[in-house]
Structure 1
Amino acid sequence: MPEPTPEPTFRERPVSFVRRSGRMSDGQERAWAAYSDFYLIDVPRDDAVTSVLAGSAVEPAVVWGREAPLIVEIGSGQGHAIIHASSTRPDVDFLAVEVFRAGLARTMLDAAREGVENLRLVEANAPEVLEHLLPAASIDELWIFFPDPWHKSKHNKRRLIDEEFAGIAARAVKDGGMLRLATDWEHYARQMRTVLDASPDFERAFEGEWAERFDGRILTAFEQKGARVGRSIRDLAYRRTGATER
Structure 2
Amino acid sequence: MPDAPSDTDGPRFRERPVSFVRRSGRMSDGQERAWAEYSAFYLLEAPRDAAATSVRAGSEIDPEAVYGRSARLVVEIGSGQGHAIISAATAHPDTDFLAVEVFRAGLARTMLDAGREGVRNLRLVEANAPEVLEHLLPVASVDELWVFFPDPWHKNKHTKRRLVAPEFGPVAGRALKPGGVLRLATDWEDYARQMRTVLDESPLFERAFAGEWAERFEGRVLTAFERKGSRAGRAIRDLAYRRIA
TM-score (normalizing by structure 2): 0.96
- 1:29 is matched with which residue: 27, 32, 49? 32
Q: Which residue of 155, 170, 173 corresponds with 1:170?
A: 173
- CA–CA distance in structure 2, aligned partners of residues 173 and 200 of structure 1: 14
**Aligned counterparts, 1:96-115, within 5 A:** 96-115=99-118
Partner of 2:236: 233
Alpha-carbon separation, structure 2, partners of 1:123 and 1:54: 16
Matched ranges for 1:108-123 at <5 A = 108-123=111-126
In structure 1, the residue corresponding to 2:44 is in which secondary structure? coil
Quick check: 1:180 aligned with 2:183?
yes
Following superposition, the deviation at residue 204 of structure 1 comes to 0.3
Q: Mean Cα displacement is larger for which, 229-238 or 8-17?
A: 8-17
List per-residue Cα deviations over 1:76-111 (Å, max 9, x = no partner). 000000000001100000000000000000000000
In the TM superposition, structure 1's runs of 4+ consecutive aligned residues that sit over 2 Å from their partners are: 5-9
| Selected match of 2:60 from 57, 60, 66 | 57
Q: Distance in 2 between matches of 1:17 and 1:68?
A: 31
- Number of corresponding residues: 238
Q: Distance in 2 between matches of 1:158 and 1:109?
A: 30
Residue 134 (1) aligns with residue 137 (2): yes
Superposition deviation, residue 163 in structure 1: 1.2
Q: Which of residues 26, 45, 48 in structure 1 aligns to 2:48?
A: 45
| 2:80 maps to which of 59, 69, 77 | 77
Percent sequence identity is 77
CA deviations over 1:14-52 (Å, ceiling 9, x no partner): 000001121000000000000000000011100200000
CA distance in structure 2 between the aligned counterparts of 1:196 and 1:58, rounded to whole angstroms: 27
The answer as to 2:38 corresponding to 1:14 is no
Cα deviation for residue 200 of structure 1 reads: 0.5
Structure 1 range deviating more: 7-16 or 182-191: 7-16
Unpaired stretches in structure 1, ≥5 consecutive residues: none
- Whichever residue aligns with residue 26 of structure 2, its letter is R
Counterpart CA distance in 1 for 2:14 and 2:155 is 22
Shift of 1:7: 3.3
Secondary structure of 1:217's match?
Answer: coil
Runs of 5+ unmatched residues, structure 2 = 1-7
Provide the aligned C-alpha RMSD in A.
0.9
1:162 Cα deviation after fit: 1.1
1:225 Cα deviation after fit: 1.1
Hey, what's the Cα distance between the residues in 2 that align with 1:21 and 1:173?
Answer: 32
Structure-2 separation of matches of 1:53 and 1:8: 15
